[in-house]
A and B are shown apart, each in its own frame.
Chain A
């Protein structure tokens, strides 16, 4: 998707460990997931 006035990224994913970020978020994601499904279960 090339755009007129396209801007190149200064930060790219390779500069960061996204697997580690996902691991950091996982406990909260599981908690939120259970809360969401509890809501669906009640409905």
Chain B
């Protein structure tokens, strides 16, 4: 048995006895080895290690990168799908949601599919709502047109009745035929305003238009036993178009007759100077407050298609850069003033 002695510096001594055939010790083999002999060959080792690391970099790192990319591929596809939501058809997006066996990714995929389904349903609901809104808008517009046509129509029917009863009188016949003619012209202009491709030159307002309008609404005043009077205070030439002004006068007078009630007083004044044309209507009915007027305008503008008179007046005032104002200085009754600048308006502008 070889005896070994190791020293702190790494060197070692080996001692082995040499035996004879009969087991007697003949001597010893003594070997002393310096620590340097046990030192590894660092250069050879480094070479091997470098080859190993180089192989790892060349083979394993690309494999690791590929595995990582493969792992994140479903996530990347999900991100692409999410990015394109709203820009591409839902069916396409739904087909591109990755199907994986991974439970967590499956949950995300299912959630995105559900999101796409809900968005699709929302889109369909929005389309239905938009369609309904369009139909409602068409209904409102139809109601407004009916309202604007109905106002002069009743006056015209009264005029034809007058013509039937007193047509023998030449003066009354001519007056009534002129009235009917101007009323029909107003209807034509009102309808033409709804057709963008039709451009009809409108004549300027004349003081006699107020008398026409009063005649047209007289039947309504008579049915309420109301007293309707008109006055003209024109100091300058009228340059405003007749159709919108007649429309405004009709609307405001019908509203005033309705507000004045039975045996009420209605007064209409057409004023004009070089700057503006005003139409003032007073009725002796209940006072109209600013809040009530605002509520009425807001209601007529959208939700309640039954009455469009005041709303149309305000829209026309806004269109012709004028105004619809309530006189709050009076304590009894209501006085509304519609005004627009006294100047000529181009057809396109109008």
Chain B binds chain A: no
Interface of B with A (CB < 8 Å)? none
